[in-house]
Amino acid sequence: MTDMQIREQAAVTPRHEARHRAPGLLFDSFWMGGFESACQINTRGARLDMLAATQHDRFVREDYARVRSIGMRTVRDGVRWPCVETRPGEYDWSTFLPMLHAARDAGVQVLWNLLHYGWPPDIDVMSDEFVQRFVRYCRAAAQLVKDETEQAPVYVPVNGISFHSWAVGHRGIIQTVMLGKGW
C-alpha cells in the first residue's frame, strides 16, 4: 500500500465505525500493534522521547491507517506525562489530542500508557507528592479521553512496572538519581 493510499484510507474511515469485537472480548482485534512511547531520562541525564524519535507524533494518522490496513484494530500507545504537565497541576494536551483524535477517527482501539518511564522533572518519584500528582494527572487524562471520544477507554497506568522499579532503583539506568533507593 502506498503512502497516498494509506492517507486516503485514513480519510474515509468512519469516525464512529461499528465495533467488530466478538461479545465478551476486551480488545477489538486479536493482534495488536504498539508504538514506543518511553520518555525517561537516560544515564547521561538526557530525556528521551521515543514518540518524537520515531516520528509517530507527526505521522500518527498514517500509522493508525497502516495498522488498520493489515487488519489490526487495537494498539498500545502513550501519553507523555512530561510533555503534558509542564507545571504542577497544569495540563497542556496539545501533544496528546492529535493522537486521541487520530485513533478515534481511524476506529483504532488504544491501550493508553499513562507513565512509560517518564514523569515531570520537578517531582521526586519517591515522595508522597508523586502519588498525588500521578493520581491527578491520570484523572485529568481519563476525563479528557471521556470528553473527546465515545470509545470505552483502556489504560496502562505504569508501563512495565517491575522493569521500571528495577531499572530505577537497582540499576540506575533510568532516572539515575534514584539508584539505591529501591527495595
Q: Phi/psi at 41 (nearest 5 deg)?
A: -95, 125
Query: Which whole number is the average pLDDT over 32-50?
Result: 89
Lowest mean pLDDT among 12-26, 33-47, 84-98, 137-151: 12-26
Residue-range domain boundaries for the chain? 3-10+30-178
Rounded to two decimals, the pTM is 0.81
Mean pLDDT of the chain: 84
Judge whether residue 152 has pLDDT over 60: yes
Q: What is the CATH number of domain 3-10+30-178?
A: 3.20.20.80
Judge whether residue 83 has pLDDT over 50: yes
Q: Hey, which of 18-22, 39-43, 74-78 has the most confident mean pLDDT?
A: 74-78
Strands 109-113, 74-78: pairing kind = parallel
Judge whether residue 165 has pLDDT over 90: no
Q: Which has the closest alpha carbon to 50: 98, 82, 92, 3?
A: 82
Q: Which has the closest alpha carbon to 46: 173, 137, 134?
A: 173
Q: Hey, which of 8-22, 33-47, 52-66 has the most confident mean pLDDT?
A: 52-66
Amino acid 18: pLDDT: 41
Measured in whole angstroms, the distance separating CA 29 from the mean position of its chain's CA atoms is 19
- The pLDDT tens digits of the residues spanning 107-135 come to 999 999 999 988 998 988 878 899 999 99
Judge whether residue 45 has pLDDT over 50: yes
Amino acid 159: pLDDT: 80
**Cα separation of 70 and 49, whole Å?**
27
Judge whether residue 31 has pLDDT over 80: yes
